[in-house]
Amino acid sequence: MKKFQKILASLLTVATILSFCTVGIITSSAVATASSVNTYKNLNSGNISTYNNTITTMGDRDWQWPIAGSSRLSGCYVDGRNHRGLDVAAPNGTNVTAAYPGKVISATNGNGFGNHVIIEHTYKGATYRSLYAHLSSISVTLNSTVTKGQLIGKSGDTGTPGSFHLHFSIWKGTASFPSGSTTNVDPFLNNFLLAPASMIVWDGSKYPNNAYSTTSCCQPYLDAVKWNQENSSTTPPSSVPNVYYRVRTTAGSWLPQVTNTNDYAGIVGRAITDVAISVSSGSVKYRVHVKGGNWLSYVTGYDINNASNGYAGNGQAIDAIQVIYTAPNGTTYKSYYRVSPLNSGYYSYQMNDSTANGMDGYAGSVSSTSKTIDRLQIYIGS
């Protein structure tokens, strides 16, 4: 007992516990060193051959924890199974949300994961995929576009989980699942993920006989996480800017302002004619395409009484819009926006004026057979 108390007292700050060890809490008292990191790497290099052991800064911690309110981990990369993911214990039916914007490339049942969703993301110019497994239900469809924090399913125990939990993985590239030479991303050691606000607790009780339920595994890992946090050059991101927008339709009146994706601007079945957009920080320029006509000039203002630079449009129905957001210095935020053709479902999200990954550079359609648009949604993200 004294030995356990001594170990528990030495564990460190608000962050994460990922290896198969006895219960541990990261507090602020322990000392983490570069030698601890090397100890961790040496300890685990033979057990997780496909895991990227390079502890380095890879992001701005702008991916979101996928299961709010749950911070008890019951499985991780370093558990003797080449697990390639985190197991987050949660009651059956807990909301599971997308960690980052992307496209759903799988929403099905199988491969031991039971009901699971895979999302493909473009992050800092590279392709990543994230997996959410053992769901009791799935709330998204194949090829749909999701935003960060959007509900994608409910936690459960489908497949072969052994207990109610979410299996969560991130990997780089387009492999169907993280295996072989896949670069798995330990989101905490690589500063990918925003940790939950609450303290994360390790729960080794799920596999009490596991060979890694020992402090020889737990302490080096905790030290490595702490050392990485203390020596990282990145800082948590500042608050994401808000975007405010409203539209006028063929009915002739301006509709109420919408903030981010709390709602949509427009009325189903009524073509949009004019759009006004503003942001809380940074700057935005935008323009619209008139159905059967041309792109109008960019505007940068937000004033429905100023027809020259307060809104985009000339009173005629539009079929496309382009929104380009410029972030404040030191941030990499962009605009994400989508529209729906008249009386139809949404097109995929567009990012600024990008034409990468099948995007058009604008939201909507400018072909001779295009429909006018009746709904608009915009948000600012990474």
Mean pLDDT for each 10-residue chunk of the chain (382 residues)? 34 30 34 45 38 35 72 54 70 89 93 92 85 95 90 90 82 77 61 46 43 40 50 51 94 92 91 96 95 96 93 97 89 90 92 91 93 95 82
Cβ atoms of residues 322 and 285 within 8 Å: no
Cβ atoms of residues 231 and 101 within 8 Å: no
Q: Is 356 helix (H, G, I), strand (E, B) or coil?
A: helix
226 and 263 in a common domain: no
247 and 226 in a common domain: no
90 and 39 in a common domain: yes
The answer to whether residue 247 sits within a structural domain is yes
pLDDT of residue 163: 76
The answer to whether residue 162 sits within a structural domain is yes
What is the residue-wise DSSP string for 268-336?
A: TTB-EEEEEEEESSSEEEEEEEETTS-BPPPB----TT-TTTTSEE-SS-EEEEEEEEEPPTT---EEE
Copy the structure tokens of residue 38.
């090397």
Cβ atoms of residues 244 and 281 within 8 Å: no
The answer to whether residue 67 sits within a structural domain is yes
Region label for 84, one of left (φ > 0), alpha (ψ between -120 and 50) or beta (otherwise): left
Integer Cα distance of 54 and 37 in angstroms:
10
pLDDT of residue 63: 78
* Of 77, 128, 125, residue with least CA distance to 98: 128
Range of the domain at 375: 243-381
Integer Cα distance of 137 and 116 in angstroms:
9
Alpha carbon distances (Å) from 51 to 45, 56, 78, 179? 8, 13, 9, 9
The answer to whether residue 236 sits within a structural domain is no
223 and 257 in a common domain: no
pLDDT of residue 214: 37
The residue among 230, 251, 274 that closes a domain is 230
The answer to whether residue 150 sits within a structural domain is yes
Integer Cα distance of 355 and 324 in angstroms:
13
Give residue 87's identity as a one-letter amino acid code: D
21 and 137 in a common domain: yes
168 and 68 in a common domain: yes
pLDDT of residue 263: 86
The residues pairing with 106 across neighbouring beta strands, listed in sequence order, are: 118
pLDDT of residue 69: 61
Region label for 197, one of left (φ > 0), alpha (ψ between -120 and 50) or beta (otherwise): alpha
259 and 220 in a common domain: no
The residue among 230, 253, 270 that closes a domain is 230
Copy the structure tokens of residue 290.
């008139």
The answer to whether residue 235 sits within a structural domain is no
pLDDT of residue 315: 96
192 and 247 in a common domain: no
72 and 217 in a common domain: yes
pLDDT of residue 21: 35
Cβ atoms of residues 192 and 55 within 8 Å: no
The number of beta carbons lying within 10 Å of the beta carbon of residue 73 is: 24
| Phi, psi of 270, deg, nearest 5 | -115, 120
Q: Is 158 helix (H, G, I), strand (E, B) or coil?
A: coil
The residue among 188, 204, 230 that closes a domain is 230
Q: How wide is the angle at C-alpha 246 spanned by C-alphas 245 and 252, nearest 5°?
A: 165
Number of domains in the chain: 2
Pairing of strands 63-64, 193-194: parallel
111 and 22 in a common domain: yes
pLDDT of residue 61: 56
Integer Cα distance of 117 and 135 in angstroms:
8
Region label for 71, one of left (φ > 0), alpha (ψ between -120 and 50) or beta (otherwise): alpha
Integer Cα distance of 338 and 362 in angstroms:
9
189 and 51 in a common domain: yes
Report the sign of the C-alpha dihedral through residues 135, 139, 143, 149, in that order: negative
pLDDT of residue 323: 98
| Phi, psi of 44, deg, nearest 5 | -110, -5
Copy the structure tokens of residue 364.
């909507």
Q: What is the CATH number of the domain that holds 116?
A: 2.70.70.10
The answer to whether residue 237 sits within a structural domain is no
Give residue 291's identity as a one-letter amino acid code: K
The answer to whether residue 211 sits within a structural domain is yes
324 and 253 in a common domain: yes
Copy the structure tokens of residue 210.
């596991």
Angle between helices 34-44 and 215-230 (to 10 degrees): 130
